[in-house]
Amino acid sequence: MEGGELRVEVKFTGLLAYELRAQEASYELAAGSLVSDLLAIIGRAFADRLPPSLYDPETETFHRMIALVRRDHGFLSPTEPLADGERLLMLSRAAGG
């Protein structure tokens, strides 16, 4: 991987895994990317599979019940930076996983 990139793995759980018809995916982002950048990429990639109750394609935002979780660190804020090699969980806080 080139010096200006990072890779993260995302495991989809519960309702998201069902709607996306996917269990996990890998993403390459620019160094310095934030959680919000990753959410935008995931949303655009799966916009055609997500119901309006989970994702708004016009604003490119997920419903507030959708969260990314870093193991041992809880729910991530959209403004948190990502680190190369991270494995994250994406879930619905209401449905679990």
* Confidence at 61, pLDDT banded by 50, 70, 90: very high
Strand partners, 94: none
How far apart are the C-alpha atoms of 35 and 80, rounded to whole Å? 6
* Confidence at 1, pLDDT banded by 50, 70, 90: very low
Global pTM reads 0.87
Q: Has residue 97 got a pLDDT over 70? A: no
Q: Give residue 94's pLDDT.
A: 67
Strand partners, 27: 8
Fold category of 5-92 in CATH: Ubiquitin-like (UB roll) (3.10.20)
The domain limits of the chain are 5-92
Better pLDDT: 41 or 73:
41
Q: Output the average pLDDT for the chain.
A: 90
